[in-house]
A and B are shown apart, each in its own frame.
Chain A
Amino acid sequence: MQNRGGVERERESGRPGPADALGRLADALKRRAASAPGPDREAKAESLRRHVQDYLQPRAADLDAPLLVVILGSTGSGKSSLINALAGRALSPSGVLRPTTRKPVAIGDRDDLGGRMGSLAQRTGLDMRTGEGARRGLVLVDAPDFDSVELENRDKAMELLEVADLAIFVTTATRYADQVPWHVLGRARTRGVPLLAVVNRLPEDAEDADAVLADYRALLERGKLVDSGAAGSLAVVAVPEGALDVERDALAADAIKPIRDALDRLVASHDDRRALARRGLAAALKGIPEAVEAIAGQVDEEQRSVAELRASADRAYGAARQALDDEIKRGTFMRAEVLRQWQEFIGAGQIARFLAEGIGKLVATVRSLIEPAPVAPATEVREAAFADLTALAVQHADTAAQRTATAWSGDRYGALALAADEALWRASPELAERLTTDLEDWARGIGDRIRTLGARRKGWAQAASLGVNVVGTSAVLAVFVHTGGLTGAEVGITAATAVVNQKLLEAIFGEANVVAFVNGARDDLRQLLDQAFADERARWSEKLGATGDPKLATELRRLAHEVAAMVPA
């Protein structure tokens, strides 16, 4: 037992090895994407997850797998013309209509088009070609553009950037200072992908062309991209305007010779390929913390907002629940009309006889002989009582919902959550029905307890003659209706009903039992309402989901550092 090896001990303790860090990072990013507020943030996490899962993981597992070389650039910059030149045949049509290429086109050796290329093809519609122009060990891809009005093209191009081992970045004399391509280059830099650069359509005038090239180099320097060259510092391949090979629908072969040479060198040397793959992987691993930080930073920012949103919901619902409790304590939320109905029933024959003593009992007995026994309104009164409590609860749940919604609508994430569900502006539509059901259950519980209590009392026979329903309603009213110490006209009917109820229950169960019994029922009611309000409050939490989960931010950062510490074999 003592002598187990380190690896085994690690497995035993359930702690995964460092290579799993990539898997766990991908998983954490997946969770982030699922819970991110808004499509932009979701896409950001999803795109990094693709990078981890479709580039880092397979590349870390196998440095000798074929290199993915992606041609990226603006629409019309000449990407298709370039791949045709490199393949030596019209592979991907170029065109004057912008954008031309909508589906990426890949060319590679048949043996090299398996593996991760399959899933990539599925998602981006990659058209995989082989045969003439294929280079062993390299898969060359003509990507769609990233700046035309077709936004799907951009998504595909960006996805290809995330998984590339080498990127050939094409621009033109008109485009080289556009802002959008520089965003893409910025990501290429943090990603650490080795680069080749082409400027197409340079002016014929040599001075003008030199000025443009010098300007582009200066921009590359400022963008800290010079060190990203695939072989040494990043050289810019200049292609003059009109350097076309019309037959092959391509750029002129001699103009792009430096690119072809670079690729051919890689084809020739397994070691060079491996070195490039390792370099790209190492740089990509190093780039992970920065990329993750951009996401974790968003989570932090969300967390601050979300904490405030949660607090405002808590405040609103706490206050509403408290207000509801106060009104229940005051015991005056029932309609007088209902109470009168109950009091009239109790005051009549049967029950009065049961309650009264001495002379009163005699009078009541005589009356009960003359007057027909009234039909007990127990069910109506109980239902009316429940309707009153429900109206009260909905009133306070509405207040809480509107307070919360108003507070949330002023916040970015709050507004996003609100926009997803119009119903949040009110108490949930099911609340009234749910409370009615809950209250019926509660009343049934009371009925059961009355029966158990009654079985032990000698007055029970009499009580039983009244019916559990009547006694039950009486108990419900004992919880709902009390005067809270008030007297006078304000609580006229309330006080009277409370007193009569109390008397009835005491006559049946005895004073001490009634107090305990009513308190028990009241506690159950409180719990029932607590639960209902907690569920109302939970609607809001659901809308936030895992937005701004601080644990997720910490986990992302920790995994990023673990990943950055990995050293490629």
Chain B
Amino acid sequence: MNGEGGPLDERLGRLRAAVDAAASIGLEAEGARTRTVARRVARRAGFGGAVYVMALAGGTGVGKSSVLNALAGEEVSPAKSVRPTTDAPVAWVPADKRDELDALLDWLKVGSIVTHEGRELDDVAILDLPDIDSVRVEHRATVDALLPRIDAVTWVVDPEKYDDHREHAYWRSLVPHADRLRFVLNKADRLTDADVKVVADDLRARLIASGIPRPEVHVVSAVRGTGIDGLREALADAGHAKVIIATKLETDRAAAAERLGRSVGLDADEGYRPLLAPEDRERRTREAIDGALELVDLDGLARQVRGAVMHRARIGGGSFLGRLIALGSSFTGRRGRRADPAAYLRAWRSRGAMGRVLNPLRAAMVEAAGGLPASSRGRVLTALGALSAEADVARVIDRAVAGAGELEIPRSPLWPVIGALQVVVGAVLLFAVAWMVVLFVAGGGVPVATVSAPLLGPIPMPLALLTASVLISALLGWILGLHAGWIGRRLAAGVGARVEEAIREGVVRDAFGGLDRVEEARRVIAAAADLG
């Protein structure tokens, strides 16, 4: 049983993995249906392949039992004129295979078994089934439950029922098994030879229209025995039981996988394709990043960084007055508002609507879910994270912001030097002021110039000192500001770049986490459905 996708066991293993994958994205019910098929296939494979099971199916009164009896040449299953006749499946099996078929027939819940010694049909067990269309609805239930376990089907019709809606509906469900499906047009004796041909052609045309490309139709009359030998020969030449069983099981497996694939929007003709086209994903990601950067506000962050550096510089190297103001701003909260970059980053939530990030992401999710059948859309959308997107996005930005690194505000060795100089200058300034006060008091209110004081050129010494210290203090302040501004700008640029990078990475990696999980599951399902 080695097909192109490896031995059946392996392919069933992939199918089971696909079931788990489906369940992981909310499609438990679809998965359960698939699991049922996987179990059934494994079970049937376990019974061995010496004999295959062929069932006679059809509406009541078309002559299923009569056809079996004609094949057998004896009454295997009673055929009567009251409808419906057959209540439970009857098996007609080669006598020498009776024992090895025991477990299989038990699984098929066939209680009534008739054996035969014929050599011709020695690798097939033929079942006569109850009808599918009578008022005894339990008959149909029996067939519905049994047919999926059957290896090949011979569908019996008669000139009255060959175009019934009931039959056609059933045939459509058997289309994947068309290779192991055969049709018998019974009661040919009720038509003229010309009409037999007309009806048989019409039946063939109808079957082709129903999706069975090359229908095999046997025209027989069970009561007259015409056409029965041809049917028997066709059954005997059907091929090896092993092959029939293997292709049947492979068809079941493939159909189940394909069906599961359809529930996640996989098309057998197209192969695997992501729900969201890469260029759409890229575009939406870009929009989300832009939105996130707007919330984080890199411009504002840079201002905060520069403010913080300036504050620290003022504390370390400001003039007396400058330090006083800087200290004061810590108390009034002004520093908190203007110069606390870490707090500013953390508070990104208060700088705009989350919708700026969320709306493009959710638009992408709905676009992605648009590729799914309506029945699974809601559940997969939940798996995509549409409903939890708000919290997820917040987490992504929080993490990016936290990961942007420590916001250590640097100190420069230059600042204490400037600070020390400012102290000296301050002292000189105080001295000059004091000197002038003394002179003024000693002079009894006479203008300074008239009192003797050392002159520096034409200017009295205290005045010169005062002017110089004020100028130097201002110059030092200017240098400090220039230096701190330079450091601040450099730091701000670095921090800004780091935050931006972290946001970009975070959004690219995490914002579509749900979609990535769904795609992962779809890839597992695609592998089970042999879609590269």
Contact = CB atoms under 8 A, between A and B. Distances in A.
Interface stretch (B173-181, B353-361, B483-491): B353-361
B216 interface: no
A273 to B, nearest CB: 34
B297 A99 contact: no
Contact of B337 (A149, A393, A496): A496
Interface stretch (B264-272, B342-350, B436-444, B452-460): B342-350
A358 interface: no
Contacts of A154: 165
Given A179-B133, A395-B355, A496-B337, A75 B164 contact: yes
Interface stretch (B274-282, B362-370, B427-435, B470-478): B362-370
B163 interface: yes
A335 interface: yes
Residue of A97, A203, A209, A212 with most chain B CB atoms under a 10 A cut-off? A97
Nearest to A405: B378
A212 B82 CA distance: 5
Given A178-B59, A392-B353, A406-B381, A415 B374 contact: yes
Contacts of A495: 337
A80 interface: no
Contacts of A203: 81
B81 A488 contact: no
A208 to B, nearest CB: 4
A149 B355 contact: no
Contact of A174 (B161, B198, B206, B363): B161
B378 A205 contact: no
Contacts of A494: 350-351
Given A151-B165, A425-B366, A489-B347, A327 B353 contact: yes
Given A180-B166, A212-B82, A215-B82, A174 B160 contact: yes
A100 to B, nearest CB: 10
A334 B356 CA distance: 10
Contacts of B202: 97-98
Given A179-B134, A335-B352, A487 B333 contact: yes
Interface string B121-135: 000000000000111
B166 A147 contact: yes
Interface residues of B, number: 70
A408 B374 CA distance: 11
A106 B209 CA distance: 32
B164 A409 contact: no
Contact of B300 (A336, A403, A422): A336
A403 to B, nearest CB: 6
B65 to A, nearest CB: 13
Contacts of A147: 164-166
Interface string B143-172: 000000000000000111111111010000
B25 to A, nearest CB: 14
A147 B60 CA distance: 14
A322 to B, nearest CB: 14
Nearest to B199: A96
Contacts of B84: 177
B184 to A, nearest CB: 15
B321 interface: no
Interface residues of A, number: 74
Interface in B296-313: 297, 299-300, 304
Contact of B374 (A97, A333, A394, A409): A409
A305 interface: no
A211 B343 CA distance: 94
Nearest to B190: A241
Interface string A425-445: 110000000000000000000
Contacts of A419: 374
B386 A402 contact: yes
Nearest to A177: B83
A336 B198 contact: no
Nearest to B132: A179
A492 B375 contact: no
Nearest to A495: B337
B23 to A, nearest CB: 17
Residue of A337, A419, A486 with most chain B CB atoms under a 10 A cut-off? A337
Interface string A407-420: 01110000100110
Given A333-B352, A340-B300, A148 B165 contact: yes
A97 B199 contact: yes
A7 to B, nearest CB: 51
Contact of A96 (B195, B355, B379): B195
A76 B344 contact: no
B218 interface: no
B379 to A, nearest CB: 8
B390 interface: yes
A281 to B, nearest CB: 30
A493 interface: yes
A530 B336 CA distance: 38
B337 A488 contact: yes
A388 interface: yes
A70 interface: no
Contact of B353 (A149, A395, A490): A395
B341 to A, nearest CB: 8
B323 interface: no
Contacts of B137: 179
B338 interface: yes
B247 interface: no
A307 interface: no
Interface in B371-422: 374-375, 377-379, 381-382, 386-387, 390
Nearest to B370: A422
Contacts of B159: 76, 96, 98
A333 B353 contact: yes
B162 A98 contact: yes
Interface in B192-226: 195, 198-199, 202, 206
A76 B190 CA distance: 13
A487 B80 CA distance: 93
Contacts of A491: 347, 350
Nearest to A425: B366
B117 to A, nearest CB: 32
Given A148-B163, A392-B353, A215 B83 contact: yes
A481 to B, nearest CB: 11
B261 interface: no
B191 interface: yes
Given A174-B160, A492-B344, A406 B60 contact: no
Given A389-B353, A399-B390, A494-B351, 20 more contacts: A75-B160, A96-B159, A96-B195, A149-B206, A177-B84, A177-B136, A179-B133, A203-B81, A388-B356, A392-B354, A395-B354, A406-B378, A409-B378, A425-B381, A487-B333, A488-B340, A490-B350, A491-B347, A492-B337, A493-B351
10 contacts: A148-B165, A173-B81, A178-B135, A180-B165, A215-B83, A327-B353, A391-B359, A488-B333, A488-B337, A493-B351
Top 8 nearest A-B pairs by Cβ distance?
A395-B355, A409-B378, A490-B347, A392-B353, A489-B343, A98-B163, A174-B61, A332-B350
Interface of A: 74-77, 96-99, 147-149, 151, 154, 172-180, 182, 203, 205, 208-209, 211-212, 215, 219, 327, 330, 332-337, 340, 388-389, 391-396, 398-399, 402-403, 405-406, 408-410, 415, 418-419, 422, 425-426, 486-496
